[in-house]
């Protein structure tokens, strides 16, 4: 996780001012004390000392609180930025896969070989294990994608495969090829809808990431 700290010059300036005040204290403090004593201001001197001490303590507490608050805010938004950076690559991979599937499935000619070509395309994209019919390998194909997105993609691909198997059997029994293909393509429509949802999430996360970076720059200044 990234760490954003307050600029180094802030505590240096504070220490510099305190150091200068302490260095010159032997020159002006005795003179001030003597002046107050000559004018009968010993009680006021004690009161003023208390005020100054309280003021210094208040300033120190303020800067300490401000530093802690800023650092806590930076830690919070940097964690959010890290989360976005972890999820974005996986979402982009998911969109890219769905683009390939959508384009490839749309290019299949409407023949009796349609169901077989659908299965071949899904298998060639690494979503079906060789020799294990119907075993989806979404996790292997999309290792960087978050679990929720992988589950959603698995559900959509499984729907396509189920509709495709129904269409294959219907075509083999002599039913209309075009009607059965339309049934499969209706499931592909769900794939398109999921793809649009993921693309919107990517755009929202990219916008959020840009706002986080701007906020970080504002806080650390």
Per-residue model confidence as pLDDT tens digits over 155-192: 888 889 889 989 999 998 988 888 889 989 988 888 88
Q: What does the alpha-carbon distance between residue 207 and residue 27 come to, in Å, rounded to a whole number?
A: 57
Q: Nearest Cα to 191, choosing from 116, 110, 127, 111?
A: 127
> For a pLDDT cut of 90, what percent of the chain falls above it?
20
Domain total in the chain: 1
DSSP annotation of 144 reads T
Cα–Cα distance measured from residue 209 to residue 215, given in angstroms and rounded to the nearest whole number: 10
Model pLDDT, residue 39: 57
pLDDT band at 14 (very low <50, low <70, confident <90, very high): low
Q: How confident is the model at residue 199 (pLDDT cuts 50, 70, 90)?
A: very high
pLDDT of 18 above 80 = no
3 domain-assigned = no
Checking if the pLDDT of 68 tops 60, the result is yes
Residue 2 in any domain: the answer is no
Residue 198 pLDDT greater than 90, yes or no: yes
What dihedral do alpha carbons 13, 15, 19, 22 form, nearest 10°? 120
Instruction: Band the pLDDT of 94: cuts 50, 70, 90.
Output: very high
pLDDT of 120 higher than 80? yes
Whether residue 133 lies inside any domain: the answer is yes
Note whether residue 4 is domain-resident.
no
Q: Which domain holds residue 144?
A: 9-220
Q: pLDDT higher for 32 or 193?
A: 193
175 domain-assigned: yes
Helix axes 147-172, 114-124, angle to 10 degrees: 160
């Amino acid at each position: 996780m990234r760490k954003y700290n307050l600029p180094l010059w802030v505590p240096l300036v504070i220490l510099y001012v305190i150091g200068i005040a302490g260095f010159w204290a032997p020159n002006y403090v005795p003179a001030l004390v003597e002046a107050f004593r000559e004018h009968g201001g010993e009680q006021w001197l004690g009161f003023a000392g208390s005020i100054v001490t309280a003021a210094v303590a208040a300033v120190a507490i303020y800067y300490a609180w401000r530093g802690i608050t800023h650092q806590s805010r930076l830690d919070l938004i940097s964690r959010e930025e890290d989360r976005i950076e972890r999820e974005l690559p996986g979402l982009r991979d998911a969109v890219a896969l769905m683009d390939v599937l959508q384009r490839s499935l749309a290019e299949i000619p409407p023949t009796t070989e349609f169901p077989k070509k659908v299965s071949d395309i899904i298998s060639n994209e690494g979503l079906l294990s060789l020799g294990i019919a119907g075993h989806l390998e979404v996790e292997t194909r999309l290792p960087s994608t978050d679990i929720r997105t992988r589950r959603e993609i698995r559900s959509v691909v499984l729907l396509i495969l189920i509709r495709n198997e129904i269409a294959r059997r219907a075509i083999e029994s002599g039913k209309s090829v075009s009607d059965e293909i339309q049934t499969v393509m209706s499931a592909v429509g769900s794939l398109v809808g999921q793809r649009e949802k993921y693309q919107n999430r990517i755009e929202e996360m990219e916008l959020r990431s840009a706002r986080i970076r701007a906020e970080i720059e504002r806080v650390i200044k």
